[in-house]
């Protein structure tokens, strides 16, 4: 099949299993003049496996700006470039946005090939009653920011990346505001030790009580009454500061125009 030619190709590479790369991706990285890689050593392993001889040029979040001029010069000279990241789809929690913005401004043709990505590999096997989801990239580190994320997206399935060192702490923080939350968690997708668990948050943390290894993608299922999550958190804060149930009800009903008796009832139940 004859292919339309572009100046710049965004090319996904495997997220674990080296065979998870499309025929078109292989053909593209074979044919371009050079490959812009996050880490040339990582990409070189892939190229060796598929016997691809194309030259690699490093391009990562620390030199992204300074590389733009170089790429523009090469493209003006008629060269064609492929961008890859260490694993998965570039620009999904990986660099690329800076150069792509500049190329579009300069009128170069840019295309992205479909391919491996942890978030889509995960979501395409997780049972959900809704297509709607929020992908927030890497979960922030501080407790305050995690709580903000969880509250902001309480009404929608919320997918995030996290590291094995932080995920259990992240789940504990989520549990403090969503004690009954349902969780789906996958690690090592497409690799030998792939594991996917779904359960309530306490069971998931208990399952990994001895630690967790590998690359992780996780989803907090939407809750049915998102406004309650936020309200319960506010009640908790006020009670922790020593306010009585009645005072909590007066304060929150005045500030947020809510029913005082309902807040009072919630507060004494907590």
Residue 222 CA: distances (Å) to CA of 120, 124, 152, 163, 164? 18, 17, 11, 22, 23
- The residue assigned the tokens 């992240």 is 170
Q: Which of 84, 87, 123, 235 binds ligand SAM (CB under 6 A)?
A: 87
Q: How far is the CB of 202 from ligand SAM (least distance, A)?
A: 22
Q: Which of 43, 89, 157, 267 binds ligand SAM (CB under 6 A)?
A: 89
Residue 251 CA: distances (Å) to CA of 128, 233, 244, 245? 37, 14, 11, 10
User: Does 15 participate in binding ligand SAM (rule CB under 6 A)?
Assistant: yes
Q: How far is the CB of 167 from ligand SAM (least distance, A)?
A: 9
User: Does 16 participate in binding ligand SAM (rule CB under 6 A)?
Assistant: yes
Kindly tell me which of 64 and 94 has the beta carbon lying closer to ligand SAM: 94
Q: Which of 25, 81, 217, 223 binds ligand SAM (CB under 6 A)?
A: 217
Query: Residues 175-204: x/- map of binding to ligand SAM (CB under 6 A)?
Result: -----------xxxxxx-------------
Kindly tell me which of 123 and 248 has the beta carbon lying closer to ligand SAM: 123
How far is residue 67's CA from residue 60's CA, in Å, rounded to a whole number? 9
User: Does 92 participate in binding ligand SAM (rule CB under 6 A)?
Assistant: yes
Residue 169 CA: distances (Å) to CA of 70, 71, 255? 42, 41, 32
Q: Which of 28, 85, 205, 267 binds ligand SAM (CB under 6 A)?
A: 85
Q: How far is the CB of 216 from ligand SAM (least distance, A)?
A: 5
User: Does 123 participate in binding ligand SAM (rule CB under 6 A)?
Assistant: no
Residue nearest ligand SAM, CB atom distance: 88
Q: How far is the CB of 89 from ligand SAM (least distance, A)?
A: 4
How far is residue 38's CA from residue 62's CA, in Å, rounded to a whole number? 10
User: Does 57 participate in binding ligand SAM (rule CB under 6 A)?
Assistant: no
Q: How far is the CB of 17 from ligand SAM (least distance, A)?
A: 9
Kindly tell me which of 15 and 212 has the beta carbon lying closer to ligand SAM: 15
Q: How far is the CB of 194 from ligand SAM (least distance, A)?
A: 7
**Binding residue count for ligand SAM, defined by CB under 6 A:** 23
The residues that touch ligand SAM, with contacts defined as CB under 6 A, are 15-16, 85, 87-89, 92-94, 117-119, 161, 163, 186-191, 215-217
């Amino acid at each position: 099949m004859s292919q339309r030619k572009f100046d710049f190709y965004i090319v996904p590479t495997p997220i674990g299993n080296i065979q998870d790369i499309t025929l078109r991706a292989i053909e593209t990285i074979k044919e371009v003049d050079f490959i812009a890689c996050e880490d040339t050593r990582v990409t070189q392993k892939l190229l060796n496996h598929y016997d691809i001889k194309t030259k690699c040029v490093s391009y990562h979040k620390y030199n992204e700006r300074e590389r733009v001029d170089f790429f523009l010069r090469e493209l003006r000279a008629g060269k064609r470039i492929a961008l890859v990241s260490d694993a998965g789809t570039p620009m999904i929690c990986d660099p690329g946005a800076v150069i792509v913005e500049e190329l579009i401004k300069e009128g170069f043709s840019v295309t992205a090939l479909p391919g491996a990505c942890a978030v889509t590999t995960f979501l395409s096997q997780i049972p959900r009653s809704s297509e709607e989801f929020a992908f927030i990239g890497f979960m922030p580190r501080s407790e305050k920011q995690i709580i903000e994320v969880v509250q902001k997206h309480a009404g929608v399935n919320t997918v995030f990346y996290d590291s094995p060192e932080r995920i259990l702490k992240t789940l504990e923080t989520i549990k403090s505001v969503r004690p009954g939350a349902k969780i789906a968690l996958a690690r090592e997708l497409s690799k030998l030790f792939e594991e996917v668990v779904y359960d309530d948050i306490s069971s998931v943390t208990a399952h990994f009580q001895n630690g967790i290894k590998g690359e992780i993608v996780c989803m907090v299922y939407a809750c049915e009454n998102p406004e309650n999550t936020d309200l319960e958190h506010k009640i908790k804060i006020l009670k922790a500061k020593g306010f009585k149930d009645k005072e909590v009800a007066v304060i929150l009903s005045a500030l947020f125009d809510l029913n005082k008796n309902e807040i009072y009832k919630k507060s004494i139940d907590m």
